[in-house]
Chains A and B, each alone.
Chain A
Amino acid sequence: MHHLYRAYGLTIASELQLPELLPADPDHGAPDVTVTCERIPPQGLAGGTQISPFAWVNGNAFWLRVPNVSRFLVTDASRIVVDPEPGIDEASVRVFMLGSVLGALLFQRGFLLLHGNAIEVDGKCLVCLGPSGTGKSTLAAAFIRRGYRVLADDVVPVDAHCAAVPGFPRLKLWQDSADQLEFGTDGLTRIRPKLQKFNVPVPGRFCDDALPVRWVYILDNDNKDSIRIDPIVGMDRFQPLRANTYRRHFMEGLSLRPEHLKQCGELAGRVHLARVTRPRSGFDIDGLVDRLLADTREAG
């Protein structure tokens, strides 16, 4: 029995329930991606290249093991195989399946994948990038509370026309962020049973259309007291995009490096790019939203 979903512009037929995703229309036709549960070689890909202690690539195949959770195999940009460890909960499998694994598939489909979130502002897309722990999801939640819609959180695929492609209507929020933004966590499911981090569905605040990326902000923080926005210009525009590519090492392992550099260059040529530095702690998240919105208006 397959469940039909859509995400990133793809129809996904899955043996595994993926309640974070939107349901797809059953009359849509052949799915773009299938997700099945089958056995996967336990020790990587024979004849392939090991690109991490837990990941292998071989031609069009990508193999990933999350210890004590599951093994995953992504092939031909269209098939995902999941091989969960005995006794593991489905939520834990889904966290990695919807993150790194779907990410690898999107790489295989030729997207530039940015590590950040995508927000609709005046029919265009604002993207905030940064590593884990820089407050991307919290910022996305703050935009939602202000009435804005998100296209994606964590992984932002950018297509050949420099448009951000919508993912699915879900944020992952830590308890502290949820409290700060007054998103009650009663009744929400944890992303994994033992983590104080919640799946926050945002169906009414989801933008389901691909939108041209207009503004890209690199999130940073330091020990100063104020929020600063510094435009990034000239030759310096390329490196931050490359550095904030989602799972850059995977992409390089998948031999997509030249294509990736080209995509970063094209995007760098089209967007308003700036570094946003905010205080490491004790700052006003709404103030940050205001500053970003003001900067988008100024940049046009």
Chain B
Amino acid sequence: MGGIFWLASYPKSGNTWFRSFLSNYMSDSDEPVDINQISVGKIASHRLWIDNVIGFDTADLTQDEITSLRPVVYRWKHMEGDVSYHKIHDAYTYTREGRPLVDDVATVGALYIIRNPLDVALSYANHRGTDIDQAIAFMGDPEHALSRSVNALSQQLLQYMGTWSFHVRSWTEAPGLNVRIIRYEDMHTDPENTFAKAVEFLGLQSDPARLERAIRFSSFDIMAAQEQQTGFRERPARAERFFRKGKAGDWQDTLTNTQVARVVADHREIMTRFGYLDASGQPV
């Protein structure tokens, strides 16, 4: 039974780390997979994927038309009959016709990776080449999207994300969606359990030795060393490095009290739900 597993997250939440793990797990080789050869399926918003399937150019379509076609493309992929894993940064949304963007028939499930928004803000600022206040503003902007320009063309399609909280809720509360949530912080503190659960959810055979090796091969040190040596294709030009620190809790040394207060005010409910605020409402 084929279909698509979505590896869904807000940007800078551990998606590349997870895909590197998954690629290492599936390849089961003696050497770490090259970060530039992570062999997990294409990102959902890959323009060429969509163009190749539909047979005409999304560059000649309006945004609404593209949105309506995307679930059709994923269903076509599903009909090929194999299981595939695809990164996605779009929020879980619907087309004008009321159809889930990711198509409910094509979708087997979604692994949603969540990370403390205080750390996301820091990492997203670096990624976008903006200051932290701007990143915090992006994360609170209900209209926030990637590849938005209407005056030029990107190799990525527009990815509507909305606020960070909306993004989390859109995936974790999507009606009828088979979703499993993993926390970036748990990938750090308890990798064996966290990755093992993910492997099981994704329908892969579990194998402790393979798991241990894939975790080791996708460690921050190995990926950062690879970037140092050969560069990483997915690094944005405006960011100095893609693999920056790879740690949890860095916000404590970097964000000002005002910045922390703003993120908390913007995302209190979701932060509480996922353990990023304690019982008294303080960030942890």
- The answer to whether A and B belong to the same complex is yes
Cβ of B200 under 8 Å from chain A: no
User: Which of B62, B150, B155, B235 makes the CB contact (< 8 A) with A132?
Assistant: B155
Min CB–CB distance B209 → chain A (angstroms): 36
**With A131-B155, A132-B51 as given contacts, are A195 and B60 in contact (CB-CB < 8 Å)?**
yes
**With A99-B57, A131-B155, A247-B55 as given contacts, are A53 and B73 in contact (CB-CB < 8 Å)?**
yes
Contact with A along B10-45 (1 / 0, CB 8 A): 000000000000000000000000000000000000
User: Is A133 a contact partner of B231 (Cβ separation < 8 A)?
Assistant: no
- Measured between beta carbons, the chain A residues less than 8 angstroms from B154 are 133
Cβ of B72 under 8 Å from chain A: yes
Min CB–CB distance B66 → chain A (angstroms): 11
Min CB–CB distance B53 → chain A (angstroms): 6
User: Is A224 a contact partner of B52 (Cβ separation < 8 A)?
Assistant: no
B window 236-261: CB within 8 A of A = 236-237
User: Is A222 a contact partner of B233 (Cβ separation < 8 A)?
Assistant: yes
Min CB–CB distance B225 → chain A (angstroms): 18
A96 to B65, CA, bound (A): 14
CB closest residue in chain A, given B54: A54
- Measured between beta carbons, the chain B residues less than 8 angstroms from A194 are 62
User: Which of A53, A134, A225 makes the CB contact (< 8 A) with B76?
Assistant: A53
Q: Which of B58, B59, B236 has the most CB of A within 10 A?
A: B59
User: Which of A132, A249, A281 makes the CB contact (< 8 A) with B57?
Assistant: A132
Min CB–CB distance A165 → chain B (angstroms): 21
Min CB–CB distance A289 → chain B (angstroms): 19
A222 to B47, CA, bound (A): 17
Min CB–CB distance B216 → chain A (angstroms): 27
Which range contains the number of A residues in contact with the other chain? Answer: 35 or more
A66 to B62, CA, bound (A): 12
**With A134-B155, A196-B150 as given contacts, are A53 and B75 in contact (CB-CB < 8 Å)?**
yes
- Measured between beta carbons, the chain B residues less than 8 angstroms from A249 are 52-53, 55
A window 186-239: CB within 8 A of B = 191-192, 194-197, 222-225
**With A131-B51, A249-B55 as given contacts, are A96 and B151 in contact (CB-CB < 8 Å)?**
no
Cβ of B198 under 8 Å from chain A: no
Min CB–CB distance B162 → chain A (angstroms): 23
**With A52-B53, A54-B54, A100-B56 as given contacts, are A131 and B237 in contact (CB-CB < 8 Å)?**
no
User: Is A131 a contact partner of B47 (Cβ separation < 8 A)?
Assistant: yes
Which range contains the number of B residues in contact with the other chain? Answer: 20 to 34
- Measured between beta carbons, the chain B residues less than 8 angstroms from A171 are none
- Measured between beta carbons, the chain A residues less than 8 angstroms from B155 are 131-134
- Measured between beta carbons, the chain A residues less than 8 angstroms from B52 are 248-249
User: Is B62 a contact partner of A192 (Cβ separation < 8 A)?
Assistant: yes
User: Is A281 a contact partner of B237 (Cβ separation < 8 A)?
Assistant: yes
- Measured between beta carbons, the chain A residues less than 8 angstroms from B153 are 132-133, 174
- Measured between beta carbons, the chain A residues less than 8 angstroms from B56 are 54, 64, 66, 96, 99-100
A249 to B237, CA, bound (A): 33
A192 to B48, CA, bound (A): 21
Contact with A along B165-197 (1 / 0, CB 8 A): 000000000000000000000000000000000
User: Which of A131, A195, A281 makes the CB contact (< 8 A) with B62?
Assistant: A195
Cβ of A177 under 8 Å from chain B: yes
**With A195-B62, A279-B237 as given contacts, are A176 and B149 in contact (CB-CB < 8 Å)?**
yes
- Measured between beta carbons, the chain B residues less than 8 angstroms from A78 are none
Cβ of A67 under 8 Å from chain B: yes
User: Is A95 a contact partner of B60 (Cβ separation < 8 A)?
Assistant: yes
CB closest residue in chain B, given A133: B155
A10 to B55, CA, bound (A): 23
User: Is A133 a contact partner of B59 (Cβ separation < 8 A)?
Assistant: yes
- Measured between beta carbons, the chain B residues less than 8 angstroms from A192 are 60, 62
Contact with A along B69-110 (1 / 0, CB 8 A): 100110110000000000000000000000000000000000
User: Is B237 a contact partner of A282 (Cβ separation < 8 A)?
Assistant: yes
User: Which of B55, B57, B62, B76 makes the CB contact (< 8 A) with A250?
Assistant: B55
Min CB–CB distance A193 → chain B (angstroms): 9
Which A residues are closer than 8 A to B by beta carbons?
51-55, 64, 66-68, 95-96, 99-100, 131-134, 174-177, 191-192, 194-197, 222-225, 247-250, 279-282
For this complex, 10 residue pairs linking A to B, each with C-beta atoms less than 8 Å apart, are A51-B55, A52-B76, A54-B55, A95-B60, A100-B55, A132-B47, A132-B155, A175-B151, A249-B52, A280-B237
